[in-house]
Chains A and B, each alone.
Chain A
Amino acid sequence: MRVALCGNPNVGKTTLFNQLTGLRQRVANFPGVTVERKAGTLAGAPHVEVVDLPGTYSLTPRSIDERIAYEVLVGRLEKEPDVVVCVLDAGNLERNLYVVTQVIDLGLPVIVALNMMDVAEENGLAVDASALENDLGVPVVPITASRGEGIDELKKCILNPPEPAQVYRWQLMDAVDAKIPALIKRLAEEAPHVKPMHLRMEVLRALAEEEALDAWRLGAPEFVNRIEALQEEFAKRGIAWRHAEVSGRYAWIGPIAQRASRRVSGPATLSDRIDAVFTHRVAGPLCFLLILVCVFEAVFSWAIPAMDLIEAGVAALAGIVHSVLPAGWVTDLLTDGIVIGVGNVVVFLPQILLLFFFLGIMEDSGYMARSAFIMDRLMKRVGLSGGSVLPLLSSYACAIPGIMAARTLDSERDRLITIMVAPLMSCSARLPVYTLFIAAFLPTGKLLGVFGYQGLAMFSMYMMGTIMAFVAAAILKRLVFKGPASYFVMELPPYRRPRLRQLFWRMYQRSKVFAVRAGKIILGCSIALWFLASFPRTEISPEATQIEELAIQERNREYAAAQALAPGRDLTVATDSLLLVDSTLANALDLTARADAKYTAALDSANIIRQSTQIRESAIGHLGRILEPVMQPLGFDWKISAGLVSAFAAREVIVSTLGIIYSVGDAEGGVALRDALKADKYPDGRPVFTPLVAMSLLVFFVFALQCMSTLAIARRETNTWRWPMVMWLYMTVLAYLASLLVYQGGLLLGFS
């Protein structure tokens, strides 16, 4: 019985050989060449001869050493061995396994000796021998040859050799594979001395190696002709035939080596050490998630004071303009249209600046590239690459910087897909809408006593958008932007301390682009919307006039009553300017003060009714009623439809529109609006807003593209109106269908 030791150079083959044979060795030359043939008998089993073959990386040999190993294994130099022990460096499984697969394909019984387990362990690598055994289908014995560990097990295994494993379990690329059987047949006819077991390997070798092909020129000329014709054909078709076998084998080995070896600890330099955490398979995504949560928390919470300040400033400015200019629609346009419109843009600046600040830090410190690296695995599933992660994340704040950030992508196709799905990520403009409806229509209880329903609902809004963005990306990739799979190659710069000056400069530049580009559009839209909501003018509102008249009568009556209480006294003077206040006068003054307060409140509500009538009779109101039949299946009445129309310019506008329609004069979506929404009823007494309608509306907002600025930025970035239009269409259809599904499905399930 003969055992051959085979494997890559420097894997400890000779050490193992010495361990197996003890000192019973003979050193000779292989016949005809000056390559040492080291052989010996197995310690304790004199009938077993052990041959130490020269180290080889593959059975497609280049050097003479390698050729000897090959020729011994195929039985050309001497009788082929009964068992082959493949010695592997446990620290470098993948490349070592290559030759193992070739030996297995020879149809010989193979035992794998997994050597240098100690070194692998020291280098922080855990190798799973049994996983390897399962995948390869041959016995795997972990050994440490230098210390003699595992030698006895290996000996036992050699003395009870396994059956040959199944051959050719790896996949050759289809185009090449299809041609192989005909060539095997040809070679078998021309060279009957080749063992049937080796035919396939000989064909593959002849195809890939000039030398191997040349060797057949005399013995099998027709075979050589056919191979050469095939090579020409492949070259024309652009098929990488020369690497076909190598790629095929590695494609099989790769996952096997992956499963079997696990890196336990990282390498050494500072960036490497940081990377060992940040790009780690498990820790990397966790760190990324943590950083993300912190950034978004900061963006949302730190921006609030500044946003409040801006809102107050804008309101104050509108008030000043109102008081300085004469009343009239031009003044209204200036205040409600232009000032508020610009305010709508400026109010997002704090969030955007903060987001750019954090993104800037991530970019300058070098973490950005790592985040793309980490997320690549996830993005690959939907056909994108890690590069799309940041544009999509930025879109949580606002789709505009997100779409702009997509510029960094190499692949034009990836960039377009990223732009197309970015608006599905729930941006901050959706937040006021989510807040209003969730607070109004969802119970305040807790699921399992931990997660509030409202918080869960909010979270699910974000999840829905995100998941749909991935689905949409996958669909777009399949249907619209077909082509070869995207790849991911990215330089990971060394970690650096961000420079503040540079950081602020870039923040300024980017915010300027946002404010100017988006500002123009939002301004235009705000003006247009204002016109739509203000014209045609309806100055007359009988209801409001009636309220006003009643209020005046009421006040006069109460004044008269007060005067009767304190006859002859002047009730028009302010209380604090009187030196002497007796109880009668105090009571009378109290009455008048209450009468004044009532009167003012009545005037306010008359005013709001006027505004509400104005909206109902305005172009937008009409539009809402035209849309009502279409929106009814989603559970939306004309008011919501009008709100949706107004929300086209910017989503959050729906809150103030509803506020005006419902005459609560509460543009902030506070308690009054909530109550008004809940109280609203159709003529037949059904409530307009039910939790189901609210859900339907929320879902609509998750998916619909109601943002002129996004369309404009997409137009600028893609340089055509085509993609923005496609984007708007698919998102609107998606929103409609999703809302339809929620509402009608909800009705069917008996929800209301």
Chain B
Amino acid sequence: MIPAPLTAFCDGCPLKICSVHGCAEERLRDLGLREGAQVEVIQNSDKLIVRLAGCRIGLRRDVAADIFATPLEL
């Protein structure tokens, strides 16, 4: 399937990040939100909380909309 922004996934979805864009791009990669990283959206409301290898990252929606991911095949 084609990648969708993180904002499109529901809570608890295991995902794999495909691409990262936008002004926060480098910062996101710094935080470990880079292509190929496996993440999980924990909270998806006015902002997002994403779990990444045991740590949690809070994102503004517009930032999360620049991260594209696909569901992880289990």
Contact = CB atoms under 8 A, between A and B. Distances in A.
Most chain B beta carbons < 10 A, residue from A60, A272, A281, A492? A492
Nearest to B11: A267
A319 interface: no
B37 interface: no
Given A246-B4, A275-B49, A489 B55 contact: no
Interface in B1-53: 1-5, 7-13, 19, 21-24, 27-28, 31, 33, 42-47, 49
A195 B37 CA distance: 41
Interface in A486-513: 487-494
B43 to A, nearest CB: 7
B55 to A, nearest CB: 6
B46 to A, nearest CB: 6
A428 interface: no
Contact of B63 (A58, A372, A487): A487
A491 B55 contact: yes
A254 B7 contact: yes
Contacts of B60: 376, 380, 385, 487-489
Given A60-B2, A281-B45, A254 B27 contact: no
B2 A492 contact: no
A271 B62 contact: no
B2 to A, nearest CB: 5
Contacts of A57: 1-2, 4
Contacts of A250: 4-5, 7-8, 65
B65 to A, nearest CB: 6
Contact of B57 (A62, A410, A492): A492
A487 to B, nearest CB: 4
A678 to B, nearest CB: 51
B65 A489 contact: no
A488 B65 CA distance: 12
Nearest to B64: A489
Contacts of B4: 57, 95, 98, 246, 250
Given A60-B2, A272-B42, A247 B65 contact: yes
A491 B31 contact: yes
Contacts of B19: 243
A574 interface: no
Contacts of B9: 92, 94-95
A308 B57 CA distance: 44
A212 interface: no
Count chain A CB atoms within 10 A of each CB in B2, B19, B27 and give the residue with the most: B2
Contacts of A66: 1
Nearest to B5: A250
Nearest to B10: A92
Given A250-B7, A271-B56, A488 B63 contact: yes
A330 interface: no
Nearest to A485: B23
A40 interface: no
Nearest to A91: B10
A267 to B, nearest CB: 6
Given A243-B68, A410-B27, A58 B1 contact: yes
Given A92-B9, A95-B4, A250-B7, A489 B58 contact: yes
A373 B5 contact: no
A410 B44 CA distance: 23
Contacts of B57: 489-492
A253 B9 CA distance: 12
A240 B63 contact: no
Contacts of A373: 47, 49, 58
Q: Which 4 A-B pairs have the closest CB atoms?
A: A95-B8, A57-B1, A92-B10, A487-B24
30 contacts: A60-B2, A62-B2, A92-B9, A94-B8, A94-B10, A94-B44, A95-B8, A98-B4, A123-B11, A246-B2, A246-B3, A253-B8, A254-B61, A258-B46, A267-B11, A275-B43, A275-B49, A279-B43, A373-B58, A377-B47, A485-B23, A487-B27, A487-B62, A487-B63, A489-B31, A489-B57, A491-B56, A491-B57, A492-B55, A492-B58
Interface of B: 1-5, 7-13, 19, 21-24, 27-28, 31, 33, 42-47, 49, 55-63, 65, 68
Given A250-B7, A254-B65, 17 more contacts: A60-B2, A63-B1, A250-B5, A251-B65, A271-B56, A275-B49, A281-B46, A370-B58, A373-B58, A385-B60, A410-B27, A487-B22, A489-B59, A491-B55, A491-B56, A492-B49, A493-B56
